[in-house]
Amino acid sequence: MSDAIINRRDLDFQLFEVLDTEALTAHPRFAEHSRETFTAVLDTAQAIASEKFAPHNRNADENEPHLVDGKVRLTPEVAVALEAFVQAGFLAASYDFAEGGMQLPAVVSQAAMSIFASANMSTTVYPLLSMGNASVIHRYGSAEQKKTYWEPLMAGRFFGTMALTEPQAGSGLADLKTSATPNPDGSYAIRGNKIFISAGDHALSDNIVHLVLARIEGAPPGVKGISLFIVPKFRVQADGSLGARNDVALTGLIHKMGCRGATSTMLAFGENGACRGELVGEPHKGLRYMFHMMNQIRIGTGIGAVMLGYRGYQASLAYAKERLQGRAPTSKNPAEPPLPIIEHGDVRRMLLAQKAYVEGGYALCLYCAQLVDTQTTGADETARREAGMLLELLTPITKSWPSQWCLEGNSLAIQVHGGYGYTRDYPVEQYYRDNRLNAIHEGTHGIQALDLLGRKAFMHNGAASQLLARAIQHTLEQADEADNAAELQEFTTALGAALMDMASTLQTLGAALAKEPERTLANASVFLEVCGHTVIAWMWLRQALAARRGLATHTSTDNAAEQAFYQGKLSTCRWFYRWELPKTRAWHALLRSLDDTALAMPDGGF
């Protein structure tokens, strides 16, 4: 089986050696599963991803969705790939057997999705949104809505979107203007414009189900007056067959720098007064329902960012092993043959940095995905509640850190290729363009920073932050108890100090938030940075511990590849602790100074 699209050894390491995903099978919900069934799912994902998704990744970029006779046309391989995806049952991977699903843990289904994302991010956007949409209807929709929409969504006959953003409001959801007026039959007349709606129009499915945020007439202003509506492209009749076209018009395609294969649309709802929507759940609770989906999608965004970084890392690693150029600094003899560039110190640095970013980010995303499982199947109520709280705290970090640092990895992948990397003949420039989206959509970096500092870090009297500190402390204790504590001591000392730094920063910021919220929040992005680097250092210590365990079981030299794999993990951990974690010192000092330079800058001084 091709593993060109992902380092499967690393994924197996993350799942079965770092996370102990196999232990989930002790829970009744996953009792039918085993490491073998998990592996089979990932094998299937890998086969479909490499055969059907990866080959058209460049083609979809070069032939972006365009209009032919008013209809959106995609490169045809997208439909073929999604057909295989649907047939293999991935849409319903995490639903119960009884509902036609695979009853997989979230961590395994997210791992499978990561494989598709690594092969072709743009094509993966379609099922990703559809699955997010379906999960909202499944959770909050009526029995009838589930039958009418969720079932066809799961069958891949309908695809779904989320339609939040409006042209005038952007991230400011409080200013959404789309209106919903009750119809006599209990439905609502929807009217308004939405923008940046991914997968907003296409011919991949019989129907498209938009989940639309809108305001019912007379609703309170702001986010407390937003309701959620199902608005299908074609109305669905009582027998499930498709009826007339709903009044949802495609008003434009958006041409992006990257992720070009994923249709992005402007949609007008109710231009002719005939757009019919169905309320989901209760009025005015739309944002809460949508955030059920948003949080999933935020982890998915982190995974997407990691996988683009991962592909860049693998492409540049392969290139660095093949490309011959230059000599060691100590041997300038031009008669010697040139070296593979992986032998050059600076190229090794660029590869190691990429590895540290992408495997560190991957560990975090999968950790969060497994928290979703603990949240529902944890040993007791406390475990479940704590998993939920930790997940809430980590979500903005998981969304943002990979978007920033795996993009940096993509830049390094270009750099390893030199001039070739800047050409469209190599894949790395596309990964870089594609990944730049991830710091923007599903809540920008700035929005995540405000969420983390303004809401999550101090929620429940700081309980989530304390929980995170305890979880890190627990890993530190494990490392101290390990046989090889001496080797890990460099890491435990540094991470212990970073934890102390964090505690002190939290104290300062907590007090400051109450007194000077605007000034404190102005530096929220630095807080996001420092939390991200600390959490990723923790993820690397967890990987180092697992690598030590792995090495202990491979003491003979008969498996050199395995030994090198584990040594590589330890070296990368060391690199992160020496090159990256020390950056947090300056960030902590800056945060505690409550700097107001940007706020105090005169407008005319820009």
What gap in Å lies between CA 289 and CA 486, rounded to an integer?
A: 49
- Which one, 474 or 583, has the nearer CB to its own copies? 583
Where do the DSSP E strands lie in 449-490? none
Q: How far is the CB of 508 from its own copies (least distance, A)?
A: 16
- Which one, 230 or 581, has the nearer CB to its own copies? 581
- Which one, 76 or 338, has the nearer CB to its own copies? 338
Q: How far is the CB of 592 from its own copies (least distance, A)?
A: 12
Those residues whose C-beta lies under 8 Å from the C-beta of residue 279, and which sit 6 or more positions away, are: 180, 188, 216, 227, 228, 229
Q: How far is the CB of 117 from its own copies (least distance, A)?
A: 18
Considering the candidates 64, 442, 529, 580, report the single residue annotated as catalytic. 442
Closest alpha carbon to 438 in 382, 542, 512, 365 = 365
Closest alpha carbon to 19 in 387, 469, 562 = 387
SS (H, E, C) 234-254: EEECCCCCEEEECCEEEEEEC
- Which one, 156 or 261, has the nearer CB to its own copies? 261
- Which one, 18 or 450, has the nearer CB to its own copies? 450
Q: Residue 163's beta-bridge partner residues?
A: 212
What gap in Å lies between CA 363 and CA 366, rounded to an integer?
A: 5
- 3 state SS of 193: strand
Q: How far is the CB of 136 from its own copies (least distance, A)?
A: 22
Closest alpha carbon to 204 in 86, 54, 65, 82 = 82
What gap in Å lies between CA 306 and CA 493, rounded to an integer?
A: 28
- Which one, 428 or 468, has the nearer CB to its own copies? 428
Would residue 442 show up in a list of annotated catalytic residues for this protein? yes
What gap in Å lies between CA 261 and CA 259, rounded to an integer?
A: 6
Q: How far is the CB of 183 from its own copies (least distance, A)?
A: 26
Q: How far is the CB of 492 from its own copies (least distance, A)?
A: 17
Those residues whose C-beta lies under 8 Å from the C-beta of residue 463, and which sit 6 or more positions away, are: 389
Closest alpha carbon to 116 in 63, 48, 163 = 48
Q: Give the residue numbers annotated as catalytic, written as ranges.
A: 442
